[in-house]
Every structure is written in structure tokens, then in C-alpha cells.
Amino acid sequence: MLTVKNIDVYRGKTHVLHQVDLHVGHGEIIALIGANGAGKTTTLKTISGFLRPAKGSILYTAAKGKKTMDFSAMAPEQIVGAGISQCPEGRGVFSQLSVKENLVIGAYLRSDNEIGKDIQSIYEMFPILGERLNQAAGSLSGGEQMMLALGRSLMSRPKLLILDEPSLGLAPLIIETIFDKLIKINTQGITILIVEQNAVMALELSHRAYVLETGRVVLSGQSADLAKNPKVQKAYLGGE
Ligand code: ATP
């Protein structure tokens, strides 16, 4: 579905990503893990068109048999239109707007008549949002804002959902609720690429994972195997 091929990315004069390769197959949950500053957010921003690779390509095929596109030359809005939705680090909800208005904004590129139906299904997924539909998003708790950000990302009916640190700053119980929903979302046919510092949760959730260190992919494989890898355990899972 998505193949990031040998990309180099600079931020200002800083060479942040070095020959990063990663592949996301249809229906997979892929995790990208790594320490602070490893380049995870930079990778996501490059996929969604906010940063341009100096080298390499980002190839995307919406479904088998469809034309392959190269995101490295496309604008963020075209990339959303191709079926990618990014749920950014720090949630990014519009705090002055209501819960419902935030969800409507998530559907801004759609012109079909099922937007109301999809909003209902978000309320079913997260009943607390339904109870607070007219409340300003800024007055929600951190966990509720994360649910709203996730709901808003789903409103564009993405084929690939990209999440940047969804667990950041949330209580363990809320993280579990969100991660359970991610599994459900995936079983409904949405492919997921997730960046997480919480490597334990990320490796439990995902099918495969990539480990990024100082802008380079240093390890990749099945998540269950990576969770047993002594290097991963020592660096990311709190092992000896
Ligand atoms: P975190 O978990 O802290 O968000 P990350 O793995 O997502 O980390 P990035 O945010 O991608 O890492 O940052 C990677 C590197 O790029 C860091 O060394 C950071 O200092 C640098 N960087 C990020 N943004 C900029 C910028 N706007 N200009 C220059 N360097 C930047």
C-alpha cells in the first residue's frame, strides 16, 4: 500500500532522515518506534506531504489494481484526498469549536450524504463524545480530546490512518481504550501506521514494526519477534 523508499529528509540544515525504507501492506498495523528525536514525526510529516524528501520516493497504491502515486511531489491536501488521514501529535483539535464541529471538519473533502451517519458511528465508538457534542473541544479532558482527534481523522474515511504518539500524556486505562478501538478500526479494513514512544503498547498492537535511531531504520520485523529481541528489550522495553 505504502512504500517509503530510501528517503533523506532535512529540516533546515539538519539532515534528519537517512535512507529510510519502510513498507505498509494493505490491512496491516505498522509501528514505528524510537527514542525522542529519532525522526519519527519527521517520517510521518514527510509521508503526509508537510516535508519534502531531498532523495527517495513515497509510493502509494490505494487498492490492488489502482494506480501508484508518488507522494513526494504531492500537496498535503491531495494526499488526504488519496485516502490518508493523520492524527497529529498533541491531538490538534480546534479548541474553540464544539465536538460535533470538529468531526464535521474532518469530512471537509467529502461531498457524499453519509457524513451524519459517520458522526453517529463515532458517537457509538466513543459515547462520551456523543454526550458532549455541543461542548467546546478545548474543555474536554486529554483522553476525550484524543478520542475526538481519532474520530475526526476517521471522518475523512481514510484507507490509511496515521497516528503520532496517541498515548502521549494519557492515563493507562484511556490508552487501553484507545488501543482497543484501533484494533477494531483495523478489523474494519483501515490500515494503520502508528508512531509511539510507548514501545510495549506499540509492539502489542502492531503486526510489524520498525525501529528508528538517529534518523535510520536499525531494526524491523514482526512485532512479536522484536518484543523478544534483547536489543529492543534493553533500549525500549525497560529490560536488562
Ligand atoms: P519526538 O518523539 O521527540 O517527537 P521524533 O522521533 O518524532 O521525536 P522528530 O520530531 O522527527 O523526532 O525530530 C528528529 C530530529 O529533527 C531531532 O533531532 C530534532 O531536533 C530535529 N528537528 C525537528 N524539527 C526541526 C526543525 N523544524 N528544524 C530543525 N531540526 C528539527
In the reported structure, the alpha carbon of residue 65 is separated from the centroid of ligand 1 by a whole-number distance in angstroms of 36
From CA 193, how far away is CA 60, in angstroms rounded? 13
**pLDDT exceeds 60 at position 194:** yes
Q: What structural domains and CATH numbers belong to the chain?
A: 2-236 (3.40.50.300)
Check residue 108 and give its pLDDT: 84
Q: Could you tell me which residue, 211 or 240, shows the higher pLDDT? A: 211
Mean pLDDT over the full length of the chain: 92
Strands 55-61 and 68-70: antiparallel
121-178 confidence digits (pLDDT tens) = 999 999 999 999 999 999 999 999 999 999 999 999 999 999 999 988 888 899 999 9
pLDDT category at 239 given cuts 50, 70, 90 is low
Q: pLDDT category, 46, cuts 50, 70, 90? A: very high
Stretch 35-50: mean pLDDT: 93
Reduced DSSP (H G I as helix, E B as strand, rest coil) percent helix, strand, coil of the chain, to 5: 40, 30, 35
Q: Does the pLDDT at position 240 exceed 90? A: no
Q: pLDDT value at position 178?
A: 92
Within 6 A (CB) of ligand 1 lie 11-12, 14, 16, 34, 36-42, 197
pTM above 0.75, yes or no: yes
Query: Which of 14, 20, 217 to probe ligand 1 with, by most ligand atoms within 8 A of CB?
Result: 14
Count other Cβ atoms within 10 Å, centred on residue 55.
14
> What's the pLDDT score for residue 228?
92
Which uninterrupted H or E stretch holds 239? none
User: What separation in Å is there between the alpha carbon of 37 and the centre of ligand 1?
Assistant: 5
| Cα-to-centroid distance, 125 and ligand 1 (Å) | 33
- Which residue, judged by its Cα, is nearest atom 17 of ligand 1? 37
